[in-house]
Chain A
Amino acid sequence: MSIKVVNVVKQFGEQRAVKNISFEIDKGEIVGFLGRNGAGKSTTMKMITGNLPLTEGQIFVNGLDVKSELDSIKSQIGYLPEHNPLYLDMYVHEFLQFCGKVYGIKGQVLIARINEIVAQCGLLKEQNKLIGSLSKGYRQRVGLAQALLHNPSVLILDEPTTGLDPNQIIEIRELIQSISKDKTVLLSTHIMQEVQALCSRAIIIKNGEIVANETVDELTTEEQSHTIKIELADVADLSSWKEKEKILSIQKANKLTYLIKASEDIRKQIFKWAGEEGVDLVGISLEKGSMETVFQKLTKD
Chain B
Amino acid sequence: MWSIYRKEISSFLNSLIAYLVMTVFLVTMGLLVWVFPDTGIFEYGYADLGIFFNMVPFVFMFLIPAITMKSIAEESKSGMLELLFTKPINEIKLVFGKYLAGLTLVLVTLLPTIIYYFSLRYISNPVGNVDTAGIIGAYIGLLFLASSYTAIGVFSSSLSENQIVAFIIALFFSFLLFMGFSSISSLTIFEGMSTSLDQLGMQYHYDALGKGVIDIRDVIYFISVTFIFIYATFWVLKLKKWNS
Residues of A within 8 A of B (CB): 46, 49-53, 71, 74-75, 77, 79, 81, 83, 85-87, 89-90, 94, 98-99, 101-104, 146
Query: Per a CB cutoff under 8 Å, which of B3, B10, B11, B83 touches A81?
Result: B83
- Extra inter-chain contacts (7) besides given A85-B82, A101-B2, A102-B88, CB under 8 Å: A46-B82, A79-B83, A87-B11, A87-B80, A89-B11, A101-B3, A103-B87
Cα A83 to Cα B82 with chains together (Å): 11
Asked whether B217 is an interface residue with its Cβ less than 8 Å from the other chain, the reply is no
Interface contact A74-B83, CB-CB below 8 Å: no
Which B14-48 residues sit within 8 Å CB-CB of chain A?
Answer: 14-15
Closest 5 CB pairs of A and B: A85-B79, A101-B3, A85-B80, A49-B86, A79-B86
Residue of A nearest to B242 (CB): A53
Interface contact B86-A77, CB-CB below 8 Å: yes
For residue B87, which residues in chain A have a CB less than 8 angstroms away from its CB?
Answer: 74, 99, 102-103
Interface contact A98-B3, CB-CB below 8 Å: yes
Q: Which one of A83, A90, A102 has the greatest number of beta carbons of chain B within 10 Å?
A: A102
- Distance in Å: Cβ of A8 to nearest Cβ of chain B: 16
Asked whether B85 is an interface residue with its Cβ less than 8 Å from the other chain, the reply is yes
Asked whether B188 is an interface residue with its Cβ less than 8 Å from the other chain, the reply is no
Residue of B nearest to A88 (CB): B78
Residues of B within 8 A of A (CB): 2-3, 6-7, 10-11, 14-15, 78-80, 82-89, 241-242, 244
Cα A74 to Cα B10 with chains together (Å): 25
Interface contact A85-B88, CB-CB below 8 Å: no
Interface contact B88-A81, CB-CB below 8 Å: no
Given A74-B87, A104-B88, do A85 and B78 touch, yes or no (CB 8 Å)?
Answer: yes
Residue of A nearest to B89 (CB): A102
Cα A74 to Cα B87 with chains together (Å): 6
Cα A75 to Cα B89 with chains together (Å): 11
- Distance in Å: Cβ of B54 to nearest Cβ of chain A: 37
For residue B84, which residues in chain A have a CB less than 8 angstroms away from its CB?
Answer: 102
Interface contact B3-A102, CB-CB below 8 Å: yes
- Distance in Å: Cβ of B18 to nearest Cβ of chain A: 13
Cα A101 to Cα B14 with chains together (Å): 19
- Distance in Å: Cβ of B242 to nearest Cβ of chain A: 6
Interface contact B15-A74, CB-CB below 8 Å: no
- Distance in Å: Cβ of A9 to nearest Cβ of chain B: 15
Interface contact B85-A89, CB-CB below 8 Å: no
Cα A86 to Cα B242 with chains together (Å): 24
For residue B83, which residues in chain A have a CB less than 8 angstroms away from its CB?
Answer: 79, 81, 85, 146
Residue of B nearest to A72 (CB): B88
- Distance in Å: Cβ of A178 to nearest Cβ of chain B: 23
Interface contact B15-A81, CB-CB below 8 Å: no
13 A-B residue pairings within 8 Å (CB atoms):
A49-B86, A53-B242, A74-B88, A81-B82, A81-B83, A87-B11, A89-B15, A90-B14, A99-B87, A101-B2, A101-B3, A102-B88, A104-B88
For residue B85, which residues in chain A have a CB less than 8 angstroms away from its CB?
Answer: 50-51
Interface contact A83-B79, CB-CB below 8 Å: yes
For residue B6, which residues in chain A have a CB less than 8 angstroms away from its CB?
Answer: 98, 101
For residue B242, which residues in chain A have a CB less than 8 angstroms away from its CB?
Answer: 53
For residue B89, which residues in chain A have a CB less than 8 angstroms away from its CB?
Answer: 102
For residue B10, which residues in chain A have a CB less than 8 angstroms away from its CB?
Answer: 94
For residue A87, which residues in chain B have a CB less than 8 angstroms away from its CB?
Answer: 7, 11, 80
Residue of B nearest to A101 (CB): B3
Interface contact B86-A53, CB-CB below 8 Å: no
For residue A79, which residues in chain B have a CB less than 8 angstroms away from its CB?
Answer: 83, 86
Cα A263 to Cα B7 with chains together (Å): 66
Interface contact A89-B14, CB-CB below 8 Å: yes
Cα A81 to Cα B83 with chains together (Å): 7
Cα A77 to Cα B83 with chains together (Å): 11
- Distance in Å: Cβ of B229 to nearest Cβ of chain A: 25
For residue B2, which residues in chain A have a CB less than 8 angstroms away from its CB?
Answer: 101
Cα A85 to Cα B74 with chains together (Å): 11
Given A89-B15, A102-B3, do A81 and B241 touch, yes or no (CB 8 Å)?
Answer: no
Cα A188 to Cα B91 with chains together (Å): 28
Residue of B nearest to A84 (CB): B79
Interface contact A51-B82, CB-CB below 8 Å: yes
Residue of B nearest to A104 (CB): B88
